[in-house]
Amino acid sequence: MACAVACIYYARRRQWWLAGICGALASLARIQGLGLVIPVVWEFWQMLSDRYAPLPDISGATLIEKGKIWLNSRLKGLLLATREMRNWLNLLAVALIPLGLVPFLVYSQIKTGDFLATIHNHTVGWGRKPELFLRLIAGALLHPRLPDPMDWNFWLVNIITIFVFLSFTLWAFRKLPVMYILYMAVMLLLPLSTGSINSISRYCLVVFPAFMLLALWTSRTKESGYGFFILTLLAMVQAVFMVFYVLGLPIIA
C-alpha cells in the first residue's frame, strides 16, 4: 500500500521516474500493483494534453460540444507530445510499473519451472478464474452463506465491504480527481473479476482514496460528530479483531 500511495503521489507531482519506481515495487509486492498502470497512464496523458493542447474556454458550450472539444484537445496534445524525446523517456518510466512483476516471474520460473506460477496458483489453489464482477455479486447475493465462527470467509463481511467500497467509488466522482477514481475502480474490480468474493475486505484495504473521502467528510464542519462516529466505529472494529485474535478464530484472510 505504501508503494501504491507513493506511486500516485509522485504521478500527481509529475515526477514520473519516482512514480514508475514506486509502481514497480508495488507490482513486485503484489500482482494487484499492475493496476496502477491505468491511473498513472491517465495522469500522464492528461499532463501531455494540457501542456501541448490546453483546453480552451468551453463555458456556454453544450455537453456534446464540450465532449468534442475535450477529445480533440486530448488527442492533439498526445500527437504533439510524440515529437519530443523527453516524453518518450517519461513513458519509459511509466512502463516500469508492469515490468516490476518480471523479477518475481523469473524467480517463479527458477524455483518451480513455471513462469506464471503465481497466476496458476490462484486458479488451481484458490479456484479463481475470470468472471464478470456483476455476475459474481449477483451470485453471492442469491447464494448467501450462513454465519460460522470457524469459517474464515465471512459472507456478510465480504458483501458489506463490496457495497461500501462501490459507494465510495461513486462518491469519489463528486470529490476526487479522475486519477483517484480510476485507482479505486481498478483495485476494487480486479479482485471482483476473479470469480470469488473471498478476502475482498483485505483487498480493499489498499483503496486509500476511500479514507481520503472520510477525511474530507469529517473535516467539512467544525463539529466533532463525524470524527467521533468514525473513531467509535474504528474502536468497535478493533475490539472485534482483538476478541477473534484472543480466541484464535479467523475473521479476515
Q: How far apart are CA 114 and CA 112, in angstroms?
A: 5
Phi-psi region for residue 199, left (φ > 0), alpha (ψ -120 to 50) or beta? left
Residue 127, number of CB atoms within 10 A of its CB = 11
Helix (H) or strand (E) holding 81: helix 63-81
Question: Does residue 251 contact residue 199 with C-beta atoms inside 8 Å?
Answer: no
Q: Are residues 11 and 74 in the same domain?
A: yes
Question: Does residue 166 contact residue 188 with C-beta atoms inside 8 Å?
Answer: yes
The residue among 104, 125, 146 that closes a domain is 125
Cα→Cα distances 144→5, 55, 189, 194, Å: 34, 49, 20, 18
Q: Are residues 162 and 178 in the same domain?
A: yes
- The three-point CA angle 37-168-164 to 5° equals 115
Give the range among 207-211, 220-224, 240-244 with minimum mean pLDDT: 220-224
Q: How far apart are CA 202 and CA 152, in angstroms?
A: 12
Model confidence band, residue 237 (pLDDT cutoffs 50, 70, 90): confident
Q: Are residues 166 and 186 in the same domain?
A: yes
Domain count along the chain: 2
- 63 CB contacts (<8 Å, ≥6 apart)? none
The residue among 71, 95, 125 that closes a domain is 125
**39-84 residue pLDDT tens:** 999 999 999 999 999 988 888 888 898 899 999 999 999 999 999 9
Helix axis angle, 85-99 relative to 37-52, nearest 10°? 170
Q: Are residues 45 and 102 in the same domain?
A: yes
Residue 239, number of CB atoms within 10 A of its CB = 10
- At residue 234, does pLDDT exceed 70? yes
Q: Are residues 41 and 81 in the same domain?
A: yes
- The three-point CA angle 35-94-71 to 5° equals 80
Q: How far apart are CA 251 and CA 152, in angstroms?
A: 5
Q: Are residues 140 and 112 in the same domain?
A: no
Q: Are residues 6 and 26 in the same domain?
A: yes
**72-114 residue pLDDT tens:** 999 999 999 999 999 999 999 999 999 999 999 999 999 988 8
And the C-alpha cell for 85?
524525446
User: Rounded mean pLDDT of the chain?
Assistant: 88
The residue among 102, 125, 148 that closes a domain is 125
Q: Are residues 83 and 159 in the same domain?
A: no
This prediction's pTM: 0.85
The whole-number pLDDT of residue 151 equals 65
Q: Are residues 212 and 158 in the same domain?
A: yes
Specify the 3-state DSSP secondary structure of 135. helix
Q: Are residues 102 and 83 in the same domain?
A: yes
Q: Are residues 111 and 157 in the same domain?
A: no
Helix (H) or strand (E) holding 89: helix 85-99
The whole-number pLDDT of residue 72 equals 92
Q: Are residues 139 and 78 in the same domain?
A: no
For 213, the domain range is 129-253
